[in-house]
Amino acid sequence: MNARAGLAALLAGAFCIASSAIWVRLSELGPTATAFWRVALALPVLWAWATWTSAAQHRDAGRRFGWPLAAAGACFAGDLALWHGSIVLTSVANATLLANFAPIFVTLAVWMLFGQRPSARFVIALAVALAGTLILIGASLDRGTPDAGTQRLLGDALGIGTALFYAAYQLILNRVRSSVSTASVMAWSSLVTALLLLPVVWLMGESLWPQSLRGWLVLAGLALVSHVAGQSLIAFAIAHLSPLLASVGLLLQPVVAAAFAWLVLSEGVGVQQVIGGAIVLLGIGLARRAEVAPRPAAGPP
């Protein structure tokens, strides 16, 4: 039952997060300022939720797991800063697809940090995903002027960087979610994320204040739909699913994001993008299904 609930939460969370790129594109602010308000506006809701659930447990989580939760918040700050920049510079489809490289980085991290060697099937899956990535990058360079192609290429690179941060975020959450509630995870990590993003907004020279009610409503939608609903559902799912299985369900996100971009932003997807995106999703899906072989023990325990 817990696994089914976790999978349902994962899919619903992926659907909510898929709308993130639309909110970012509609925002009146720069990508980093938009990322700041995404978590800052969500904080009162998350803090009230954590306190209402159990104020004592929420405080205890901050004391006992302060460093892991801070690390998760730092990783999420990097994730948001890079991804929002990617959304502005390249297509929504590319930004979302490349950010979902996280499952592959999760497996590579498990190999390097925990001594679990990936199987040959994973290596094949990695090659497939990389081939799809090259096709996506080629599609970026082939569209528009050379300057526009260079801009899209930078956006694609930021998308891959996003995946690195999100993989670290998933791994850290998986280590603490058995002991910390979803509400506390979201509240504490989001507080750190907001505190780290605020000085970055200043360094980037971005305006911090929307100029209209519409601008505030867009930020509120991003905060409540993508962050409170989407990230909380995924944080809940991670507590009931393995990090590998959790990454598989998130493959729905780029497909839904591309559909949203087509419906709301009239952003078309070229044949080369469709082919590259399908190959990337195939590679990531194969990677998630690949067994992870344990490294032979160095000696008796």
Q: Which of 190-194, 228-232, 252-256, 263-267 has the highest mean pLDDT?
A: 190-194
Q: What is the pLDDT of residue 301?
A: 37
CA-based nearest residue to 19, from 249, 224, 237: 224
Q: What is the pLDDT of residue 158?
A: 93
User: If you average pLDDT over residues 194-206, what whole number do you get?
Assistant: 95
pLDDT band at 173 (very low <50, low <70, confident <90, very high): confident
* Residue 116 φ then ψ, to 5°: -100, 110
For the stretch 34-45, what's the b/e string if a residue is b when 16 or more beta carbons lie within 10 angstroms of its beta carbon?
bbbbbbbbbbeb
Instruction: Give the Cβ contact number of residue 12 at 10 Å.
Output: 18
How do strand 292-294 and strand 116-118 relate by DSSP bridges? antiparallel
pLDDT band at 296 (very low <50, low <70, confident <90, very high): very low
Q: What is the pLDDT of residue 297?
A: 32
Higher confidence at residue 188 or residue 110? Answer: 188
- Angle 190-191-196 from CA coordinates, rounded to 5°: 95
pLDDT band at 104 (very low <50, low <70, confident <90, very high): confident
Higher confidence at residue 280 or residue 247? Answer: 280
Q: What is the pLDDT of residue 246?
A: 65
Higher confidence at residue 205 or residue 103? Answer: 205
Which two structure tokens, joined as six digits, stand for 76? 């999420």
Q: What is the pLDDT of residue 55?
A: 85
pLDDT band at 144 (very low <50, low <70, confident <90, very high): low
Q: What is the pLDDT of residues 42-88, one digit of tens each?
A: 999 999 988 998 888 888 888 888 899 999 999 999 999 999 999 99
Q: What is the pLDDT of residue 252?
A: 72
DSSP labels, the chain: -HHHHHHHHHHHHHHHHHTHHHHHHH-SS-HHHHHHHHHHTTHHHHHHHHHHHHHHHHHHHHHHSHHHHHHHHHHHHHHHHHHHHHHHHS-HHHHHHHHTTHHHHHHHHHHHHH-EEEPHHHHHHHHHHHHHHHHHHHHHHHSS-HHHHHHHHHHHHHHHHHHHHHHHHHHHHHHHTTTS-HHHHHHHHHHHHHHHHHHHHHHHT---S-SSHHHHHHHHHIIIIIIIIIIHHHHHHHHHS-HHHHHHHTTHHHHHHHHHHHHHS-----HHHHHHHHHHHHHHHHHHHS-EEEPPPSS--
Percent of the chain scored above 90 by pLDDT? 30
Which two structure tokens, joined as six digits, stand for 142? 């082939």
Average pLDDT, the chain: 81
**In the predicted structure, residue 153 carries a pLDDT above the cut 50:** yes
For the entire predicted model, the pTM comes to: 0.80
Higher confidence at residue 121 or residue 86? Answer: 86
Higher confidence at residue 183 or residue 107? Answer: 183
User: If you average pLDDT over residues 213-231, what whole number do you get?
Assistant: 92
